[in-house]
Structure 1
Amino acid sequence: MNLLIPSYEPDIRLLKLIDQLRASGLFTIVIVDDGSGEAYSGIFREARELGCTVITHSVNRGKGYALKSGFHYFMQKGYSGGVVCADSDGQHLPQDIIKIGNSIEQYDGHIILGSRRFTGNVPLRSRFGNTATRLIYAMTTGHRIYDTQTGLRGYSFDMLSWLCSIPGDRFEYEMNLLLEAPGAGYSFHEITIDTVYLDHNESSHFRPIADSARIYAPFLKFSLTSILSALIDYLLLAVIHLFSSSLLLAVLGARLASSIFNYTMNKNFVFSKGKRSAIQSSMPKYFTLVFIIICLNYGLMYVFNERIGIPLLIAKLLTEGTLFLFSYWAQRKYVY
């Protein structure tokens, strides 16, 4: 079994983890020094003396890049067996790492996730961050994962080439991986692990604003294109109606133009996944979805406003919010 530890500016906890895992005799350990610098060279030197392989980046490239460096190393050296990825900050206990490793062969075609239950004294930003990403992931993919931010994961060896193709070099890489796994034919198996936060997670290098923006980027880009499309729709509606005095022509013309814009932006910038879906395949699916959404829009508005008695403006907001999430899920899963 192979263990991959991406590490940036570690402390003595990394060496303690290595020493505990060496006693089990189960793992070949590869550590990626992600540009920690000369001040931390002593820790990595001791790691080598403990029998670990250390890959060194001259500058910090990010967790995603470090993980892919390790995956490439395992493939180039002809290693066999599954790969467990763990963090170097003491949050993953040796017994939990071993549990993940033992589960890889039992669940073929599954990505093994060490799932925390966030009990006890958990920093607020960690509890809130995981809750937010869990809800967004479930709403936009239709799949439920309890701990979307876990760094303790297990992969079979045949997944490594695919793992290296996932976009993202920093913390967003692990979320991108979860988003693309179902489309690649991989399922998830979660194993409950202990929740460990030391010193209120002060050793974490996660940047709340910059790294959260990277993690939520697909959803944020979809939101932006939807807002721009709505603006185009409203502006063209007013302009066409001004010059033609035909409401039907204004509605159809504005919706057609805004839909073409939305399709183009989503195809090329939101759901591109590194390769472009063929127009002859994705465009019919997209406009079929547009027709379905128009029908659902009317149906939900009728139920909310006419049947339930919700005021029209609130009914409109509820309808658009529901269909926004449905549209994102449908485009990711079926259109592109």
Structure 2
Amino acid sequence: MFVPRDIQTAARAVVVSLTIALTPAVALAQSDPLPSWNDTAPKAAIVEFVEKVSKEGSPDFVPEPERIAVFDNDGTLWVEHPMYVQLAFALDRVKAEAPSHPEWATTQPFQAVLEGDMKALAAAGEKGLVELIMATHAGMTVTQFQTIVTDWIANARDPRFKKPYTELVYQPMLELLAYLRANGFKTFIVSGGGVEFMRPWTEKVYGVPPEQVVGSSIKTKFAMKDGAPTLFRLPEVNFIDDKAGKPVGIQEHIGRKPIAAFGNSDGDLEMLQWTTLADGLQFGLIVHHTDAEREYAYDRKSEFGHLDLALDAAAINKWTIVDMKADWKQIFPGN
């Protein structure tokens, strides 16, 4: 089709004008490493910290091997209400294994699980929880447990959002993980959750490989079985990576002191203290759950993700507090 030259010229001018007009906006969007964060104080604090420690010549410059960032998982990277995801896994495992254990029908805390009696289950306390974990997480090889976890995480659905738990990760924190890695940080998960429960899926979901996951564990025994080397999971607690256990786990597994720590509860208090109360520039951040509409709102009185002492310590130690409702444009990917 013939188009007069003057029309071609005019059209070209319009395209060039639009390109020039849109370029700054496009460049700005591409240059924003944290697009799901509102332009509030927490985002500014994160960017300022990263720029200071990663810019050569800066008085606060930190060599790449020392740029260690540690993240809690439950409530910091993904949803932890109405209960911890691993607890939901344990409850499902009790129900799946119940036919092989008829005695569970009249034995607490298993009876409470099978009858859906959450009040009785809560009354069983930490002792009851340990019993559930030992019964559902041990008595098998490491490989068998990994398969069970992988299958469950692929098929389980959150009761409120009706989505896989791996889709209920926090988009702003995914961006933060990527931003830190792009600036020479090595990112670790340091969680009270079971290390073997997390390792099968953390690399796919967070970009954190299994060797960079620190968590609670049960004892494991090496044995030759039918001529093949195996690791067998025993019904005995090995290490609890929570509260004061987190700095110990960091030292034993990572061997370097972090310069940035991210948590959301009192279980992360000691990890934040260990990371930030030292010489040099460090960064501590607490995710405060304040958005009941898009996620949940809870802190000092919550059974899961209890945030009390750490919230007070944040003000004293000048840790950054993220108000999920005010500081995040979106909570989950795709929302």
TM-score (norm 1): 0.28
More helix as a share of residues:
1
Using CA pairs below 8 Å that are at least 6 residues apart, which structure has the higher relative contact order? 2
